[in-house]
Amino acid sequence: RKSIMRIKVAAIAGIFALSMIGVSTADARGNKVVRQIPVTDKFLEFDISWNRTGPSYYAKILVTVNKGMIEVCGAGVFVNAQMRTATNSVLRKHWVKVNGKQIFSDFRFFNKVNRRRKLDKAIANCASTGVRAPGKRFQYSYGGGGGRYRTD
């Protein structure tokens, strides 16, 4: 009986240790999720597509200000499992620039949904850029992997 109990305790401790590794890995990317918000009509949609296979990822993004700091919020859906690894590589290279200066990269923190039709009602993950907003209105652009999008 005691040895069975020890195995259960060891298994629970192992699961906890693995979950802590996952948390620190996410933090190591520097894009820690600071809050979640619902996707609204203020979010912009973009997709990642490949010449031979078509779209592999659809996403909604919002660059916003919270407590004076610029945040990037997003949710996305993978629609082509065969291109998921390549698409993740592109998401890692995506960036946000404010007034021409890159302030953020790596969109892999976006919340994931399992159907494209759920994207409009999804909950988006938000990560802080660590950059104070330069004013009430500012110009930003985002892109990566060959794509570039700009908003004024």
| pLDDT tens for each residue of 77-114 | 999 999 999 999 999 999 999 988 999 999 999 999 99
How many C-beta atoms lie closer than 10 Å to residue 71's C-beta? Answer: 23
> Phi and psi (nearest 5°) for 141?
-140, 160
pTM of the model: 0.75
Q: Residue 145: which pLDDT band, with cuts at 50, 70 and 90?
A: low
89 vs 5: CA distance, rounded Å: 43
Chain-centre distance of CA 50, in angstroms? 20
The confidence score (pLDDT) of residue 16 equals 34
**In a 10 Å sphere around its CB, with 0-12 CB exposed, 13-18 middle and 19+ buried, how is residue 77 labelled?**
buried
